[in-house]
Amino acid sequence: MSERNINHANTYASRATLRKIVHITGKTGTAAALRAALADLETATRREAGCVSFTFFQALSAEDHFLLIEDFVGAADLEAHMQQPHTRAFFARNLVERIEAMGKDWLS
């Protein structure tokens, strides 16, 4: 994480934020392209004013499965993110088979 993002995240650390945890399944044979697309999305999203944190992880046992953890200042910031050109471009690449929001109970 860059110094700017660390400072940005620390600014909101004491506030309640909106966290979304998402399981993304890529279409068969798209793992490398999906990873690259997520990396591009991560870089652009971290520059958004309302983004506190945005990162993804690729499963070791299933290369087409990813976990996305995103924190925004609030719901309006998440909605603004969904309308950004870089977010729309990510979805337009048509690499995703399924997106499933994870409930907080999956951690237990």
pLDDT score recorded for residue 19: 94
Mean of all residue pLDDT scores within the chain: 88
**pLDDT band, residue 1 (cuts 50/70/90):** very low
Kind plus residue range of the DSSP H or E element containing 53: strand 51-58
Q: Is residue 107 part of a domain?
A: no
Whether residue 51 is contained in a domain is answered as yes
Domain ranges, residue 83: 3-102
Is residue 108 a part of any domain in this protein? no
From CA 28, how far away is CA 87, in angstroms rounded? 21
The helix (run of H) or strand (run of E) holding residue 32 is: helix 31-45
pTM: 0.82
Higher pLDDT among residues 108 and 101, named by residue: 101
In a domain, 12, yes or no: yes
Q: Is residue 61 part of a domain?
A: yes
Q: Look at the chain and report how many structural domains it folds into.
A: 1
Domain presence at residue 49: yes
Please work out, in degrees rounded to the nearest 5, the angle formed at the alpha carbon of residue 79 by the alpha carbons of 85 and 30: 55
Tens-place pLDDT, residues 8-56: 544 554 466 899 999 999 999 999 999 999 999 999 999 999 999 999 9
